Chains A and B, each alone.
Chain A
Protein backbone atom coordinates (compact mmCIF):
# COMPACT_ATOMS: atom_id res chain seq x y z
CA UNK A 1 0.00 0.00 0.00
CA UNK A 2 1.50 3.33 -0.99
CA UNK A 3 1.12 6.64 0.79
CA UNK A 4 -1.87 7.73 -1.21
CA UNK A 5 -3.68 4.50 -0.51
CA UNK A 6 -2.87 4.73 3.17
CA UNK A 7 -4.23 8.27 3.14
CA UNK A 8 -7.46 7.16 1.54
CA UNK A 9 -7.83 4.27 3.93
CA UNK A 10 -7.54 6.62 6.88
CA UNK A 11 -10.42 8.79 5.66
CA UNK A 12 -13.55 8.24 7.78
CA UNK A 13 -16.81 7.40 5.97
CA UNK A 14 -19.51 9.94 6.28
CA UNK A 15 -23.10 8.95 6.67
CA UNK A 16 -25.10 10.01 3.58
CA UNK A 17 -27.81 12.51 4.16
CA UNK A 18 -30.97 10.81 5.33
CA UNK A 19 -33.20 12.27 2.60
CA UNK A 20 -30.72 11.29 -0.14
CA UNK A 21 -30.52 7.74 1.23
CA UNK A 22 -34.30 7.45 1.37
CA UNK A 23 -34.65 8.75 -2.18
CA UNK A 24 -32.11 6.27 -3.54
CA UNK A 25 -33.65 3.29 -1.72
CA UNK A 26 -37.12 4.31 -2.83
CA UNK A 27 -35.96 4.21 -6.47
CA UNK A 28 -34.64 0.60 -6.06
CA UNK A 29 -37.27 -2.06 -6.89
CA UNK A 30 -38.22 -4.17 -3.86
CA UNK A 31 -37.29 -7.90 -3.77
CA UNK A 32 -40.21 -10.12 -4.73
CA UNK A 33 -41.01 -13.73 -5.62
CA UNK A 34 -40.64 -12.79 -9.26
CA UNK A 35 -36.88 -12.62 -8.68
CA UNK A 36 -36.90 -16.41 -8.44
CA UNK A 37 -38.42 -16.77 -11.90
CA UNK A 38 -35.10 -16.12 -13.64
CA UNK A 39 -34.57 -15.90 -16.60
CA UNK A 40 -38.25 -15.21 -17.19
CA UNK A 41 -41.60 -16.51 -16.04
CA UNK A 42 -42.12 -17.72 -19.59
CA UNK A 43 -39.16 -20.08 -19.35
CA UNK A 44 -40.55 -21.59 -16.16
CA UNK A 45 -43.97 -21.85 -17.73
CA UNK A 46 -42.42 -23.73 -20.63
CA UNK A 47 -40.78 -26.17 -18.23
CA UNK A 48 -44.07 -26.68 -16.40
CA UNK A 49 -45.78 -27.28 -19.71
CA UNK A 50 -43.23 -29.95 -20.60
CA UNK A 51 -43.89 -31.73 -17.27
CA UNK A 52 -47.64 -31.66 -17.82
CA UNK A 53 -47.13 -33.05 -21.33
CA UNK A 54 -44.84 -35.79 -19.98
CA UNK A 55 -47.48 -36.79 -17.45
CA UNK A 56 -50.16 -36.76 -20.13
CA UNK A 57 -48.06 -39.07 -22.28
CA UNK A 58 -46.84 -41.37 -19.53
CA UNK A 59 -50.00 -41.94 -17.47
CA UNK A 60 -52.17 -43.47 -20.23
CA UNK A 61 -49.26 -45.57 -21.49
CA UNK A 62 -48.69 -46.85 -17.98
CA UNK A 63 -52.36 -47.65 -17.58
CA UNK A 64 -52.31 -49.46 -20.91
CA UNK A 65 -49.32 -51.52 -19.76
CA UNK A 66 -51.20 -52.31 -16.55
CA UNK A 67 -54.21 -53.37 -18.59
CA UNK A 68 -52.15 -55.60 -20.87
CA UNK A 69 -50.67 -57.30 -17.81
CA UNK A 70 -54.13 -57.64 -16.31
CA UNK A 71 -55.65 -60.98 -15.55
CA UNK A 72 -57.47 -62.95 -18.20
CA UNK A 73 -61.00 -63.96 -17.23
CA UNK A 74 -59.97 -67.37 -15.93
CA UNK A 75 -56.75 -66.18 -14.31
CA UNK A 76 -56.48 -65.57 -10.69
CA UNK A 77 -54.60 -62.87 -8.94
CA UNK A 78 -51.33 -64.06 -7.49
CA UNK A 79 -50.56 -62.43 -4.16
CA UNK A 80 -47.18 -60.75 -4.18
CA UNK A 81 -46.13 -61.74 -0.70
CA UNK A 82 -46.87 -65.37 -1.48
CA UNK A 83 -44.69 -65.19 -4.58
CA UNK A 84 -41.85 -63.72 -2.56
CA UNK A 85 -42.06 -66.57 -0.05
CA UNK A 86 -42.33 -68.94 -2.97
CA UNK A 87 -39.19 -67.54 -4.62
CA UNK A 88 -37.27 -67.88 -1.36
CA UNK A 89 -38.45 -71.49 -1.05
CA UNK A 90 -37.48 -72.18 -4.62
CA UNK A 91 -33.91 -70.96 -4.24
CA UNK A 92 -33.46 -72.78 -0.95
CA UNK A 93 -34.72 -76.03 -2.45
CA UNK A 94 -32.60 -75.71 -5.58
CA UNK A 95 -29.54 -75.30 -3.36
CA UNK A 96 -30.66 -78.28 -1.27
CA UNK A 97 -31.13 -80.44 -4.35
CA UNK A 98 -27.72 -79.38 -5.61
CA UNK A 99 -26.29 -80.65 -2.32
CA UNK A 100 -28.20 -83.92 -2.78
CA UNK A 101 -26.71 -84.41 -6.19
CA UNK A 102 -26.03 -87.88 -7.30
CA UNK A 103 -22.55 -89.26 -7.05
CA UNK A 104 -20.77 -89.72 -10.38
CA UNK A 105 -22.48 -92.17 -12.71
CA UNK A 106 -21.93 -95.81 -11.76
Chain B
Protein backbone atom coordinates (compact mmCIF):
# COMPACT_ATOMS: atom_id res chain seq x y z
CA UNK B 1 0.00 0.00 0.00
CA UNK B 2 2.72 2.37 1.01
CA UNK B 3 4.61 1.48 -2.10
CA UNK B 4 1.67 2.28 -4.41
CA UNK B 5 1.14 5.61 -2.69
CA UNK B 6 4.78 6.34 -3.04
CA UNK B 7 4.53 5.53 -6.75
CA UNK B 8 1.60 7.93 -7.23
CA UNK B 9 3.44 10.77 -5.54
CA UNK B 10 6.70 9.97 -7.18
CA UNK B 11 8.49 12.42 -9.40
CA UNK B 12 7.81 10.23 -12.39
CA UNK B 13 4.04 10.34 -11.90
CA UNK B 14 4.09 14.02 -11.05
CA UNK B 15 5.83 14.66 -14.37
CA UNK B 16 3.19 12.59 -16.18
CA UNK B 17 0.33 14.47 -14.52
CA UNK B 18 2.01 17.77 -15.32
CA UNK B 19 2.35 16.81 -18.97
CA UNK B 20 -1.27 15.68 -19.14
CA UNK B 21 -2.41 18.99 -17.65
CA UNK B 22 -0.24 20.94 -20.08
CA UNK B 23 -1.74 18.97 -22.99
CA UNK B 24 -5.27 19.64 -21.71
CA UNK B 25 -4.59 23.38 -21.31
CA UNK B 26 -3.14 23.47 -24.82
CA UNK B 27 -6.19 21.75 -26.28
CA UNK B 28 -8.47 24.24 -24.51
CA UNK B 29 -6.35 27.19 -25.69
CA UNK B 30 -6.47 25.93 -29.28
CA UNK B 31 -10.23 25.50 -29.01
CA UNK B 32 -10.60 29.06 -27.64
CA UNK B 33 -8.41 30.61 -30.32
CA UNK B 34 -10.19 28.73 -33.10
CA UNK B 35 -13.59 29.56 -31.55
CA UNK B 36 -12.64 33.21 -31.13
CA UNK B 37 -11.53 33.41 -34.72
CA UNK B 38 -14.71 31.83 -36.06
CA UNK B 39 -17.04 33.98 -33.96
CA UNK B 40 -15.04 37.16 -34.55
CA UNK B 41 -15.27 36.64 -38.30
CA UNK B 42 -18.97 35.85 -37.98
CA UNK B 43 -19.51 39.07 -36.04
CA UNK B 44 -17.52 41.20 -38.48
CA UNK B 45 -19.45 39.72 -41.40
CA UNK B 46 -22.76 40.32 -39.66
CA UNK B 47 -21.78 43.84 -38.66
CA UNK B 48 -20.78 44.84 -42.20
CA UNK B 49 -23.97 43.36 -43.60
CA UNK B 50 -26.14 45.09 -40.98
CA UNK B 51 -24.50 48.46 -41.67
CA UNK B 52 -25.17 47.91 -45.39
CA UNK B 53 -28.83 47.36 -44.49
CA UNK B 54 -28.81 50.75 -42.76
CA UNK B 55 -28.81 49.49 -39.17
CA UNK B 56 -27.20 52.02 -36.84
CA UNK B 57 -25.07 49.81 -34.61
CA UNK B 58 -22.78 52.51 -33.28
CA UNK B 59 -23.72 54.11 -29.98
CA UNK B 60 -22.25 57.40 -31.15
CA UNK B 61 -24.99 57.57 -33.79
CA UNK B 62 -27.61 57.72 -31.04
CA UNK B 63 -26.11 60.08 -28.54
CA UNK B 64 -28.10 63.24 -27.94
CA UNK B 65 -25.69 65.59 -26.20
CA UNK B 66 -26.90 67.34 -23.09
CA UNK B 67 -28.23 70.74 -24.09
CA UNK B 68 -26.73 73.12 -21.61
CA UNK B 69 -27.51 76.17 -23.68
CA UNK B 70 -28.38 78.75 -21.06
CA UNK B 71 -31.25 79.99 -23.20
CA UNK B 72 -32.54 76.53 -24.16
CA UNK B 73 -35.32 74.47 -22.57
CA UNK B 74 -33.02 72.29 -20.48
CA UNK B 75 -30.86 75.28 -19.66
CA UNK B 76 -33.70 76.62 -17.50
CA UNK B 77 -32.93 76.99 -13.79
CA UNK B 78 -35.37 74.23 -12.78
CA UNK B 79 -33.20 71.67 -14.59
CA UNK B 80 -29.95 72.87 -13.06
CA UNK B 81 -28.53 70.31 -10.67
CA UNK B 82 -28.38 72.90 -7.87
CA UNK B 83 -32.17 73.24 -8.01
CA UNK B 84 -33.13 69.62 -8.53
CA UNK B 85 -33.11 68.64 -4.85
CA UNK B 86 -35.28 71.60 -3.94
CA UNK B 87 -37.76 70.67 -6.66
CA UNK B 88 -37.74 67.05 -5.56
CA UNK B 89 -38.43 68.08 -1.96
CA UNK B 90 -41.32 70.30 -3.05
CA UNK B 91 -42.86 67.51 -5.09
CA UNK B 92 -42.42 64.92 -2.35
CA UNK B 93 -44.82 66.87 -0.19
CA UNK B 94 -47.50 66.42 -2.79
CA UNK B 95 -50.76 64.87 -1.80
CA UNK B 96 -52.93 62.35 -3.53
CA UNK B 97 -53.58 64.72 -6.40
CA UNK B 98 -50.14 64.10 -7.89
CA UNK B 99 -50.56 60.34 -7.82
CA UNK B 100 -53.79 60.14 -9.76
CA UNK B 101 -52.12 60.54 -13.12
CA UNK B 102 -54.98 61.87 -15.12
CA UNK B 103 -57.84 60.04 -13.51
CA UNK B 104 -59.21 63.28 -12.17
CA UNK B 105 -62.89 63.52 -12.89
CA UNK B 106 -65.10 66.32 -11.52
CA UNK B 107 -65.96 64.12 -8.55
CA UNK B 108 -62.28 63.83 -7.62
CA UNK B 109 -61.76 67.56 -8.07
CA UNK B 110 -64.30 68.02 -5.26
CA UNK B 111 -62.21 65.74 -3.08
CA UNK B 112 -59.05 67.73 -3.86
CA UNK B 113 -60.95 70.95 -3.13
CA UNK B 114 -61.89 69.60 0.32
CA UNK B 115 -58.30 68.58 0.96
CA UNK B 116 -57.05 72.04 0.04
CA UNK B 117 -59.55 73.64 2.42
CA UNK B 118 -58.51 71.29 5.24
CA UNK B 119 -54.85 72.09 4.64
CA UNK B 120 -55.56 75.81 4.54
CA UNK B 121 -54.34 76.19 0.97
CA UNK B 122 -57.61 77.90 0.08
CA UNK B 123 -59.80 79.72 2.63
CA UNK B 124 -63.03 77.89 1.81
CA UNK B 125 -64.75 75.87 -0.89
CA UNK B 126 -66.52 78.06 -3.39
CA UNK B 127 -68.83 77.30 -6.29
CA UNK B 128 -65.90 77.90 -8.62
CA UNK B 129 -64.49 74.38 -8.34
CA UNK B 130 -61.87 74.88 -11.05
CA UNK B 131 -60.80 78.22 -9.60
CA UNK B 132 -60.34 76.65 -6.14
CA UNK B 133 -58.20 73.86 -7.61
CA UNK B 134 -56.05 76.36 -9.52
CA UNK B 135 -55.59 78.52 -6.41
CA UNK B 136 -54.74 75.46 -4.32
CA UNK B 137 -52.23 74.25 -6.88
CA UNK B 138 -50.64 77.71 -7.01
CA UNK B 139 -50.37 77.80 -3.23
CA UNK B 140 -48.90 74.34 -3.06
CA UNK B 141 -46.65 74.19 -6.12
CA UNK B 142 -46.34 77.88 -6.98
CA UNK B 143 -42.55 77.96 -7.03
CA UNK B 144 -42.18 74.76 -9.10
CA UNK B 145 -44.95 75.85 -11.42
CA UNK B 146 -43.40 79.27 -12.07
CA UNK B 147 -40.03 77.64 -12.81
CA UNK B 148 -41.67 75.12 -15.15
CA UNK B 149 -43.53 77.84 -17.04
CA UNK B 150 -40.28 79.73 -17.39
CA UNK B 151 -38.65 76.63 -18.92
CA UNK B 152 -41.61 76.14 -21.25
CA UNK B 153 -41.25 79.67 -22.56
CA UNK B 154 -37.82 78.73 -23.93
CA UNK B 155 -36.96 77.16 -27.31
CA UNK B 156 -37.54 73.43 -27.77
CA UNK B 157 -34.91 71.08 -26.37
CA UNK B 158 -34.28 67.35 -26.66
CA UNK B 159 -33.85 65.15 -23.63
CA UNK B 160 -30.18 64.21 -23.49
CA UNK B 161 -29.07 60.65 -24.13
CA UNK B 162 -25.54 61.01 -23.10
CA UNK B 163 -23.68 58.64 -20.81
CA UNK B 164 -21.38 61.41 -19.69
CA UNK B 165 -24.11 63.62 -18.33
CA UNK B 166 -26.41 60.92 -16.96
CA UNK B 167 -28.98 63.46 -15.85
CA UNK B 168 -32.11 62.23 -17.52
CA UNK B 169 -33.53 60.84 -14.28
CA UNK B 170 -33.83 64.29 -12.77
CA UNK B 171 -35.23 65.72 -15.95
CA UNK B 172 -37.84 63.01 -16.21
CA UNK B 173 -38.78 63.48 -12.56
CA UNK B 174 -39.34 67.19 -13.14
CA UNK B 175 -41.16 66.73 -16.42
CA UNK B 176 -43.47 64.02 -15.07
CA UNK B 177 -44.41 66.39 -12.25
CA UNK B 178 -44.99 69.04 -14.93
CA UNK B 179 -47.23 66.69 -16.91
CA UNK B 180 -49.32 65.92 -13.84
CA UNK B 181 -49.60 69.58 -12.90
CA UNK B 182 -50.69 70.43 -16.44
CA UNK B 183 -53.24 67.63 -16.33
CA UNK B 184 -54.72 68.77 -13.04
CA UNK B 185 -54.83 72.34 -14.22
CA UNK B 186 -56.43 71.19 -17.48
CA UNK B 187 -59.17 69.46 -15.49
CA UNK B 188 -59.62 72.65 -13.46
CA UNK B 189 -59.91 74.79 -16.61
CA UNK B 190 -62.37 72.29 -18.06
CA UNK B 191 -64.42 72.59 -14.88
CA UNK B 192 -64.45 76.36 -15.46
CA UNK B 193 -65.30 75.75 -19.13
CA UNK B 194 -62.18 77.64 -20.20
CA UNK B 195 -61.26 75.84 -23.43
CA UNK B 196 -58.36 78.12 -24.40
CA UNK B 197 -56.54 77.60 -21.09
CA UNK B 198 -57.28 73.86 -21.18
CA UNK B 199 -55.74 73.69 -24.66
CA UNK B 200 -52.72 75.57 -23.39
CA UNK B 201 -52.25 73.00 -20.60
CA UNK B 202 -52.56 70.17 -23.12
CA UNK B 203 -49.88 71.76 -25.28
CA UNK B 204 -47.66 71.92 -22.19
CA UNK B 205 -47.97 68.14 -21.74
CA UNK B 206 -47.23 67.46 -25.40
CA UNK B 207 -44.29 69.80 -25.23
CA UNK B 208 -42.70 67.49 -22.66
CA UNK B 209 -43.47 64.49 -24.87
CA UNK B 210 -41.65 66.19 -27.76
CA UNK B 211 -38.43 66.34 -25.73
CA UNK B 212 -38.18 62.61 -26.49
CA UNK B 213 -38.69 62.92 -30.25
CA UNK B 214 -36.97 60.13 -32.22
CA UNK B 215 -36.29 58.30 -28.96
CA UNK B 216 -32.69 57.09 -28.85
CA UNK B 217 -33.54 54.43 -26.30
CA UNK B 218 -36.41 52.23 -25.20
CA UNK B 219 -36.46 54.26 -22.00
CA UNK B 220 -37.25 57.43 -23.93
CA UNK B 221 -39.91 55.69 -25.99
CA UNK B 222 -41.59 54.63 -22.74
CA UNK B 223 -41.31 58.14 -21.30
CA UNK B 224 -42.95 59.51 -24.42
CA UNK B 225 -45.66 56.84 -24.31
CA UNK B 226 -46.42 57.74 -20.71
CA UNK B 227 -46.71 61.48 -21.42
CA UNK B 228 -48.78 61.01 -24.59
CA UNK B 229 -51.12 58.60 -22.81
CA UNK B 230 -51.67 61.18 -20.07
CA UNK B 231 -52.25 63.88 -22.69
CA UNK B 232 -54.96 61.69 -24.25
CA UNK B 233 -56.72 61.62 -20.88
CA UNK B 234 -56.67 65.41 -20.96
CA UNK B 235 -58.17 65.42 -24.46
CA UNK B 236 -60.91 63.15 -23.25
CA UNK B 237 -61.65 65.49 -20.32
CA UNK B 238 -62.12 68.45 -22.66
CA UNK B 239 -64.17 66.58 -25.22
CA UNK B 240 -66.39 65.04 -22.61
CA UNK B 241 -67.11 68.52 -21.22
CA UNK B 242 -67.39 69.99 -24.73
CA UNK B 243 -65.19 72.98 -23.95
CA UNK B 244 -63.30 73.14 -27.24
CA UNK B 245 -64.34 74.85 -30.45
CA UNK B 246 -63.63 73.70 -34.00
CA UNK B 247 -60.30 75.50 -34.40
CA UNK B 248 -59.02 74.21 -31.06
CA UNK B 249 -60.05 70.64 -31.87
CA UNK B 250 -58.40 70.87 -35.28
CA UNK B 251 -55.15 72.02 -33.69
CA UNK B 252 -55.29 69.32 -31.04
CA UNK B 253 -55.92 66.56 -33.61
CA UNK B 254 -53.06 67.85 -35.78
CA UNK B 255 -50.78 67.87 -32.75
CA UNK B 256 -51.71 64.31 -31.73
CA UNK B 257 -51.19 63.14 -35.33
CA UNK B 258 -47.48 63.87 -34.94
CA UNK B 259 -47.12 61.01 -32.48
CA UNK B 260 -46.67 57.40 -33.51
CA UNK B 261 -45.89 55.39 -30.41
CA UNK B 262 -45.27 52.17 -32.32
CA UNK B 263 -42.65 53.86 -34.53
CA UNK B 264 -41.14 55.35 -31.37
CA UNK B 265 -40.87 51.90 -29.82
CA UNK B 266 -39.08 50.62 -32.93
CA UNK B 267 -36.71 53.60 -32.85
CA UNK B 268 -36.02 53.22 -29.11
CA UNK B 269 -35.31 49.52 -29.46
CA UNK B 270 -32.85 50.23 -32.28
CA UNK B 271 -31.06 52.70 -30.01
CA UNK B 272 -30.93 50.16 -27.19
CA UNK B 273 -29.42 47.64 -29.56
CA UNK B 274 -26.55 50.06 -30.27
CA UNK B 275 -26.13 50.61 -26.53
CA UNK B 276 -25.83 46.87 -25.78
CA UNK B 277 -23.50 46.33 -28.72
CA UNK B 278 -21.23 48.98 -27.25
CA UNK B 279 -21.39 47.17 -23.91
CA UNK B 280 -20.57 43.83 -25.55
CA UNK B 281 -17.59 45.29 -27.47
CA UNK B 282 -16.31 46.96 -24.34
CA UNK B 283 -16.71 43.78 -22.32
CA UNK B 284 -14.84 41.71 -24.91
CA UNK B 285 -12.00 44.14 -25.41
CA UNK B 286 -11.43 45.30 -21.86
CA UNK B 287 -13.02 42.60 -19.72
CA UNK B 288 -14.39 45.25 -17.44
CA UNK B 289 -17.76 46.88 -17.17
CA UNK B 290 -19.44 43.49 -16.85
CA UNK B 291 -21.75 44.95 -14.23
CA UNK B 292 -23.63 46.83 -16.95
CA UNK B 293 -25.26 43.58 -17.95
CA UNK B 294 -26.44 42.87 -14.46
CA UNK B 295 -27.49 46.39 -13.50
CA UNK B 296 -30.98 46.51 -12.08
CA UNK B 297 -31.13 42.74 -12.07
CA UNK B 298 -31.94 40.46 -9.18
CA UNK B 299 -29.49 37.95 -10.58
CA UNK B 300 -26.00 38.29 -9.19
CA UNK B 301 -23.17 38.46 -11.66
CA UNK B 302 -21.69 34.96 -11.85
CA UNK B 303 -18.10 34.82 -10.61
CA UNK B 304 -16.98 32.59 -13.47
CA UNK B 305 -17.94 35.10 -16.11
CA UNK B 306 -14.58 36.84 -16.11
CA UNK B 307 -12.95 33.61 -17.32
CA UNK B 308 -15.30 33.22 -20.24
CA UNK B 309 -13.55 33.36 -23.66
CA UNK B 310 -14.38 35.92 -26.30
CA UNK B 311 -16.34 33.55 -28.55
CA UNK B 312 -18.89 33.01 -25.78
CA UNK B 313 -19.70 36.73 -25.75
CA UNK B 314 -19.55 37.08 -29.56
CA UNK B 315 -21.99 34.23 -29.96
CA UNK B 316 -24.26 35.91 -27.45
CA UNK B 317 -23.89 39.27 -29.19
CA UNK B 318 -24.84 37.72 -32.53
CA UNK B 319 -27.83 36.07 -30.94
CA UNK B 320 -28.92 39.39 -29.46
CA UNK B 321 -28.63 41.10 -32.85
CA UNK B 322 -30.54 38.30 -34.55
CA UNK B 323 -33.23 38.79 -31.94
CA UNK B 324 -33.35 42.53 -32.69
CA UNK B 325 -33.52 41.84 -36.45
CA UNK B 326 -36.49 39.57 -35.88
CA UNK B 327 -38.05 42.22 -33.61
CA UNK B 328 -37.56 45.11 -36.03
CA UNK B 329 -38.84 43.03 -38.96
CA UNK B 330 -42.28 43.10 -37.35
CA UNK B 331 -42.57 46.88 -37.70
CA UNK B 332 -44.11 47.63 -41.03
CA UNK B 333 -42.89 50.98 -42.39
CA UNK B 334 -46.15 51.28 -44.36
CA UNK B 335 -48.04 51.16 -41.07
CA UNK B 336 -49.76 47.81 -41.53
CA UNK B 337 -51.02 45.80 -38.58
CA UNK B 338 -48.52 44.43 -36.13
CA UNK B 339 -48.59 40.68 -35.74
CA UNK B 340 -47.94 40.65 -32.04
CA UNK B 341 -47.64 36.87 -31.94
CA UNK B 342 -44.84 37.04 -34.52
CA UNK B 343 -42.61 39.20 -32.33
CA UNK B 344 -39.73 37.18 -30.96
CA UNK B 345 -40.23 35.93 -27.43
CA UNK B 346 -37.51 36.69 -24.88
CA UNK B 347 -34.48 34.56 -25.67
CA UNK B 348 -34.28 31.36 -23.66
CA UNK B 349 -31.40 31.10 -21.22
CA UNK B 350 -28.70 28.67 -22.02
CA UNK B 351 -25.00 28.90 -21.25
CA UNK B 352 -24.02 30.36 -24.60
CA UNK B 353 -26.70 33.05 -24.59
CA UNK B 354 -26.99 34.12 -20.99
CA UNK B 355 -26.81 37.85 -21.56
CA UNK B 356 -29.26 37.86 -24.47
CA UNK B 357 -31.81 36.09 -22.29
CA UNK B 358 -31.28 38.71 -19.61
CA UNK B 359 -31.53 41.66 -22.03
CA UNK B 360 -34.65 40.54 -23.86
CA UNK B 361 -36.79 39.25 -21.03
CA UNK B 362 -38.85 42.41 -20.39
CA UNK B 363 -39.17 43.78 -23.93
CA UNK B 364 -42.46 42.08 -24.66
CA UNK B 365 -44.03 43.80 -21.67
CA UNK B 366 -43.01 47.17 -23.14
CA UNK B 367 -44.45 46.19 -26.51
CA UNK B 368 -47.74 45.19 -24.91
CA UNK B 369 -47.84 48.51 -23.08
CA UNK B 370 -47.28 50.59 -26.22
CA UNK B 371 -49.90 48.56 -28.06
CA UNK B 372 -52.34 49.30 -25.27
CA UNK B 373 -51.68 53.08 -25.35
CA UNK B 374 -51.60 53.60 -29.13
CA UNK B 375 -55.38 52.97 -29.50
CA UNK B 376 -55.96 55.61 -26.84
CA UNK B 377 -54.08 58.10 -29.01
CA UNK B 378 -56.13 57.09 -32.05
CA UNK B 379 -59.38 57.35 -30.11
CA UNK B 380 -58.41 60.84 -28.97
CA UNK B 381 -57.83 61.91 -32.58
CA UNK B 382 -61.12 60.41 -33.69
CA UNK B 383 -62.94 62.01 -30.79
CA UNK B 384 -61.60 65.42 -31.91
CA UNK B 385 -62.85 64.80 -35.46
CA UNK B 386 -66.24 63.55 -34.24
CA UNK B 387 -66.64 66.57 -32.01
CA UNK B 388 -65.79 68.87 -34.93
CA UNK B 389 -68.44 67.08 -36.98
CA UNK B 390 -70.97 67.58 -34.22
CA UNK B 391 -70.12 71.28 -33.91
CA UNK B 392 -70.59 71.72 -37.67
CA UNK B 393 -73.72 69.66 -38.24
CA UNK B 394 -75.24 69.15 -34.81
CA UNK B 395 -74.94 65.36 -34.92
CA UNK B 396 -72.31 62.67 -34.97
CA UNK B 397 -71.80 60.93 -38.33
CA UNK B 398 -73.33 57.50 -38.95
CA UNK B 399 -69.90 56.05 -39.79
CA UNK B 400 -66.28 57.05 -39.31
CA UNK B 401 -65.72 57.18 -43.08
CA UNK B 402 -67.79 60.38 -43.21
CA UNK B 403 -65.06 62.18 -41.25
CA UNK B 404 -62.50 61.84 -44.07
CA UNK B 405 -61.19 64.19 -45.39
CA UNK B 406 -63.01 67.19 -43.89
CA UNK B 407 -62.51 66.40 -40.23
CA UNK B 408 -59.54 64.07 -40.24
CA UNK B 409 -57.05 63.39 -43.10
CA UNK B 410 -57.29 59.60 -42.76
CA UNK B 411 -58.72 57.11 -40.30
CA UNK B 412 -56.24 55.76 -37.78
CA UNK B 413 -55.92 51.99 -37.87
CA UNK B 414 -55.71 49.65 -34.96
CA UNK B 415 -52.10 48.55 -34.59
CA UNK B 416 -53.11 44.94 -34.04
CA UNK B 417 -55.94 44.45 -36.50
CA UNK B 418 -55.17 47.12 -39.10
CA UNK B 419 -58.84 48.11 -38.99
CA UNK B 420 -60.35 51.42 -37.98
CA UNK B 421 -61.64 51.42 -34.39
CA UNK B 422 -65.19 50.21 -33.96
CA UNK B 423 -67.63 53.12 -33.89
CA UNK B 424 -71.32 53.15 -33.32
CA UNK B 425 -73.98 55.67 -32.46
CA UNK B 426 -75.75 55.00 -29.20
CA UNK B 427 -78.95 56.23 -27.68
CA UNK B 428 -79.04 59.79 -26.44
CA UNK B 429 -77.26 61.13 -29.53
CA UNK B 430 -73.87 59.95 -28.34
CA UNK B 431 -71.38 57.42 -29.66
CA UNK B 432 -68.87 54.79 -28.62
CA UNK B 433 -65.40 54.19 -29.98
CA UNK B 434 -63.73 50.93 -29.15
CA UNK B 435 -60.20 50.03 -30.12
CA UNK B 436 -61.25 46.65 -31.48
CA UNK B 437 -64.44 44.94 -32.53
CA UNK B 438 -67.49 45.41 -30.32
CA UNK B 439 -67.09 44.04 -26.82
CA UNK B 440 -69.77 42.81 -24.49
CA UNK B 441 -69.54 45.37 -21.72
CA UNK B 442 -70.96 48.81 -22.27
CA UNK B 443 -70.64 51.97 -20.28
CA UNK B 444 -73.40 52.28 -17.73
CA UNK B 445 -73.84 56.03 -17.99
CA UNK B 446 -72.64 58.93 -20.07
CA UNK B 447 -69.02 59.77 -19.53
CA UNK B 448 -68.27 56.75 -17.44
CA UNK B 449 -65.09 54.97 -18.37
CA UNK B 450 -65.20 51.36 -19.34
CA UNK B 451 -62.25 49.31 -20.45
CA UNK B 452 -61.16 50.51 -23.89
CA UNK B 453 -64.41 52.38 -24.64
CA UNK B 454 -64.76 56.11 -25.31
CA UNK B 455 -68.21 57.51 -24.89
CA UNK B 456 -68.56 61.24 -24.32
Q: What residues make up the interface of A, taking CB atoms closer than 8 Å to B?
A: 31, 35-39, 43-44, 47, 50-51, 54, 57-58, 61, 65-66, 68-69, 71-72, 74-76, 78-80, 82-95, 97-98, 100-106
Other A-B contacts than A36-B11, A93-B219, A94-B362, 15 sampled, CB-CB below 8 A, are A35-B12, A38-B18, A58-B33, A65-B40, A65-B284, A72-B58, A80-B282, A83-B289, A84-B289, A86-B166, A90-B295, A93-B168, A97-B222, A105-B375, A105-B379
Tell whether, in the assembled complex, residue A89 and residue B226 are in contact, meaning their CB atoms are under 8 Å apart: no
A37, chain B: closest CB distance, angstroms: 7
Most buried by A among B103, B295, B379: B295
Majority DSSP secondary structure for residues of B touching A: helix
Instruction: Note all chain B residues with C-beta closer than 8 A to A58.
Output: 33, 36
Contact with A along B411-449 (1 / 0, CB 8 A): 000000000000000000000000100000000000001
Segment 305-324 of B: residues with Cβ below 8 Å from A: none
Q: Can you name the residue of chain B whose Cβ is closest to the Cβ of A92?
A: B296
A contact face: mostly helix, strand, loop, or mixed: helix
The answer, yes or no, to whether B452 is at the interface (CB within 8 Å) is yes
Q: Give B240 Cβ to nearest chain A Cβ, in Å.
A: 9
Would you call A100 and B176 a contact (CB within 8 A)? Answer: yes
Asked whether B223 lies within 8 Å of A106 as measured between CB atoms, the reply is no
Cβ proximity bits B226-268 to A, threshold 8 Å, 1 near / 0 not: 1001100100100000000000000000000000000000000
Subset of 13 A-B contacts with CB under 8 Å: A35-B12, A47-B22, A51-B26, A61-B36, A65-B284, A71-B60, A72-B58, A78-B59, A80-B286, A83-B163, A91-B295, A92-B296, A100-B226
Given A82-B163, A84-B292, A102 and B373 contact (CB-CB distance below 8 Å): yes
Q: B240's closest neighbor in chain A, by CB?
A: A106
Give A28 Cβ to nearest chain B Cβ, in Å: 14
Chain A residues within 8 Å of B26, by CB: 47, 50-51
The residues of B that contact A68 with a CB separation of less than 8 Å are: 44
> A72 CA to B63 CA in the complex, in Å?
14
Known: A84-B289, A86-B163, A92-B169. A105 touches B11 (CB 8 A): no
Contact pick for B18, options A36, A57, A98, CB 8 Å: A36
B147 within 8 A of A: no
A44 touches B40 (CB 8 A): no
CB contacts (< 8 Å) of B343 on chain A: these are none
Q: A80's closest neighbor in chain B, by CB?
A: B289
Contacts A36-B11, A36-B15; is A87 near B36 (CB within 8 Å)?
no
B218 within 8 A of A: yes
- What's the Cα separation between A5 and B357 when bound, in Å? 72
In the complex, what residues of A have CB within 8 A of residue B163's CB?
78-79, 82-83, 85-86
From the candidates A43, A87, A94, A100, name the one contacting B292 in the complex (CB within 8 A). A87
